[in-house]
Amino acid sequence: MGDFRFFRPTELQELLEFKAREGNRARILDGGSNVLVYINEGSISGGTLVDVKSLEAIKGIAERDGLLEIGAGELIADIMDSELIRKKVPFLREVLQKFANPLVRNMATLAGNIADSSPIGDTIPPLLVLEAEVIVASAGGERVIGLEEFFTGPGQNVLKEEEVICKVRFPLPAKGAGGHIKLGLRKGTSCSVASVAVWLVADKNRVEDIRIALGGVAPTPVRARKTEDAFKGQSLDWDGIAELSRKVADEISPITDVRGSAEYRRQVSAALLAKAVRQALGLEE
């Protein structure tokens, strides 16, 4: 099982000072849905498990100056139950309903899914189209990182070893609607083969603005900027959506693995994007 110690800070400053001393040997443990798996499989073999479940400084869901802020310690299930999320960002609640299963949703956190930095992290494409950013802290102070700049490779990110995520935040959408499609080999806790999220602002079916993000099709979750540009200004029907969605194949760099081939991911991503756009437009399937 490895050589582990245990530490439970009572204040944020205590946590940050401990991280400054221990660096990556201090493993943040909130829900533990990822960390405990890594311990069991042996990819984490020692260090200090830092229990932050009771740390009030990283709790809370609030609206401030047009931004929706979610504390790093908030569980997925609690985010889904938030009245503020229900009223202001129902799209996010709908996305989180597809996250794993109820048992995992009662353990996992949004910040943990981000920190894990998997190319198939379920919450990341929706947060990318919401233009989220993370607030991270160390003993030396805070910094804000746009989520699109956070990931550097599979399981890798720009977080320094002395830093911890404190909040996730994004601008409250003034208009528009979201679409999100996740493809797995089976329902429930299965990993995604690919996923697509869209935020769309349209006048009738004419696209004023669109943001598109994908997971499972590149070393990191990605925004499809060129495909977004192709959609803007277009009046969409079923055929037009399908035609424009095929452009996303030029922006992704999928791999072949046990869940699917690179070519399969290219083809299916276009279909998922078309479906997500129709979902955001409210077109009947």
At 189, is the pLDDT very low, low, confident or very high (cuts 50, 70, 90)?
Answer: low
Measured distance CA(115)–CA(160) in Å, rounded:
11
Mean pLDDT of 71-92: 97
Within 8 A by CB and 6+ apart from 280, the residues are 176, 177, 178, 179, 198, 199, 200, 202
At 2, is the pLDDT very low, low, confident or very high (cuts 50, 70, 90)?
Answer: low
For residues 142 and 215, membership in a common domain is answered with: no
- pTM metric for this prediction: 0.94
CATH code: domain of residue 152 = 3.30.465.10
For residues 165 and 194, membership in a common domain is answered with: no
Give residue 70's pLDDT.
98
Measured distance CA(18)–CA(234) in Å, rounded:
53
Residue type at 199 in one-letter notation: W
Block residue for tokens 């889904």? 80
**Parent domain of 20:** 3-51
For residues 156 and 217, membership in a common domain is answered with: no
* Better pLDDT: 101 or 64: 64
For residues 64 and 166, membership in a common domain is answered with: yes
For residues 218 and 275, membership in a common domain is answered with: yes
Interval 221-254: pLDDT, tens: 999 999 999 999 999 999 999 999 999 999 999 9
> Which DSSP state fits 173?
P
Give residue 209's pLDDT.
98
For residues 193 and 238, membership in a common domain is answered with: yes
